[in-house]
Amino acid sequence: MLRERGLPVRRPQLTFATMDHSTPTRTEQVFGGAPITIEAAARQVRELEVNCADFGVELLGLRHARRGIVHIIGPELGLTQPGKTVVCGDSHTSTHGALGALAFGIGTTEVGHVLATQCLLQRKPRTLAINVSGRLAAGVTAKDLILAIIGRIGVAGGTGHVIEYRGETIAALDMDERMTVCNMSIEAGARAGMIAPDETTYAYLAGRPRAPRGEAWEMALEEWRGLATDAGARFDRQTDIDASALEPMVTYGTNPGMVIPVSGTIPQRPGDAAFAKSLAYMGFEPGRPVAEQPVDVVFVGSCTNGRLSDLRAAAALLRGRKVAPGVQMLVVPGSQEVKREAEAEGLHRVFLEAGAQWRESGCSMCLGMNGDLVAKGQYAVSTSNRNFEGRQGVGARTLLASPLTAAASAVRGRLTDPRELM
């Protein structure tokens, strides 16, 4: 679009590029001489390199030490900051709202508008407050919380809205957990989800490579402290959630709103053809418990659950245990930095000794664009965010869950409530 019109990137210093969706995760293809197996993916990688060089945009290329999934590295590098407007041609840009930024996904044409003008034409969205109170029980994670929220308000419940997650439970979450929650706002139809910045946010950002320093940090802090929603502000809609009542959650259908506790049974919806079609795809019958479903593949990773604390949680369950025979488990860190940190703690050894695969960072099996796929008819417990038909491969059956549930299910070879192994 820019080339066609002879336009430059208006603010290259405010523009940032990485590669994640179609990049290989096998070390020999990233760092060795082995070619990227999918030709179209290799071409995409090359085109991005050329475009960034031509337009003066900073790129964290395939072999860069800080490369990773865009929604992991934005916060990790300190590029994402409170009060900023962050856009990216990917719907999970909502993740960055965890730092108190207004962050949302846009389409390719809109990316062109931003590159050319640093502007976007927008309508003011409606506001939705999700108030969460109560403590999450042991073994119940931020992932279970957001899955429960989506189950409550539905996959279109947030359409046209920006969500603010509020309340004591949210304030008590660490940044990784907040990002998991905001990440899946789009799965409830909301383009953006945000959490007010607080001391947790500032402590997370302090000292990050692209965060302000010295005097600039002090000035930024002062500005950030003024960003939180005013007390008594009115929202277009509100929903209250009691976190203390939640259990580990899992999806049983083909959208993230089809979700139940791992201890639950598949619901009945007589006369609902779409529901029946979804269950048929999943190979499930109504009224049957979902736990104990045999699984073929376990995937830990993605922009939802590919951060260090997610890997720690999975490793804690796997330590001294083995992945069940016949189960393929893939652990894919969300960024090269996460990978390095995990290796420094020896987490990779836990995974490898348990019989899981340990890969280079990327989106990987979240959408299977790079060839990391789930085979037709197989069941995958996945820490990613979408269980759409065919998302992880044609005919693949995805059960979305937390890293704890994923690891527990890998050990048992069946969908398992992680609390049974804790």
Partner 1 sequence: MDPIKTLRARTVVLPVSDVDTDQIIPARFLTTTTRSGLGAHLFADWRYGSDGEPKADFVLNRPEAKGCTILVAGNNFGCGSSREHAPWALADYGFRAVVSTQIADIFRNNSLKNGLLPVIVDPAAHGWLMEHPGAQITLELETSTLTLPTGQAVRFPLEPFARYCLMNGVDELGFLLGREQQIRAFEERRPAGPPA
Residues that bind ligand SF4 (CB under 6 A): 20-21, 69, 71, 90, 92, 302-303, 363, 366-367, 384-385
Return the residue matching tokens 């005919």: 395
53 binds partner 1 (CB under 8 A): no
Partners of 238 in beta bridges: 129
Contact 397, 377 (CB under 8 A): yes
* Interacting partner of 81 out of ligand SF4, partner 1, none (Cβ under 5 to 8 A depending on kind): partner 1
* Interacting partner of 302 out of ligand SF4, partner 1, none (Cβ under 5 to 8 A depending on kind): ligand SF4
* Interacting partner of 303 out of ligand SF4, partner 1, none (Cβ under 5 to 8 A depending on kind): ligand SF4
Say what angle helices 336-344 and 308-318 make with each other, to 10 degrees.
Answer: 40
Count Cβ atoms below 10 Å from residue 363 Cβ, excluding itself: 29
Q: Is 260 or 332 the residue whose CB approaches ligand SF4 more closely?
A: 332
* Interacting partner of 241 out of ligand SF4, partner 1, none (Cβ under 5 to 8 A depending on kind): none
One of 108, 231, 271, 326 touching partner 1 (CB under 8 A): 108
Q: How far is the CB of 307 from ligand SF4 (least distance, A)?
A: 12
First vs last C-alpha separation in the chain: 54
Question: CA 143 → CA 126, 209, 310, distances in Å?
Answer: 25, 28, 10
109 binds partner 1 (CB under 8 A): yes
Whole-number Å distance between alpha carbons of 189 and 215: 40
Q: How far is the CB of 321 from partner 1 (least distance, A)?
A: 33
191 binds partner 1 (CB under 8 A): yes
* Interacting partner of 69 out of ligand SF4, partner 1, none (Cβ under 5 to 8 A depending on kind): ligand SF4
Q: Is 156 or 206 the residue whose CB approaches partner 1 more closely?
A: 156
The interface mask with partner 1, positions 361-400, x = CB under 8 A, is ------xxx------x---------x-xxxx--x------
* Interacting partner of 384 out of ligand SF4, partner 1, none (Cβ under 5 to 8 A depending on kind): ligand SF4
The interface mask with partner 1, positions 110-139, x = CB under 8 A, is x-xx--xxxx-x-x-x--------------
Positions 86 through 105 that interact with partner 1 (CB under 8 A): 89-91, 104-105
Partners of 165 in beta bridges: 130
* Residues 6 or more apart whose Cβ sits within 8 Å of residue 50: none
Q: Is 116 or 228 the residue whose CB approaches partner 1 more closely?
A: 116
How is residue 309 written in tokens?
Answer: 């604390």
Count of residues that interact with partner 1, criterion CB under 8 A: 62
Which residues contact partner 1 (rule: CB under 8 A)? 1, 5, 7, 13-14, 21-22, 38, 40-41, 43-44, 47, 78-79, 81, 84, 89-91, 104-110, 112-113, 116-119, 121, 123, 125, 155-156, 159-160, 186-187, 189, 191, 209-210, 212, 255, 257, 273-274, 277, 367-369, 376, 386, 388-391, 394
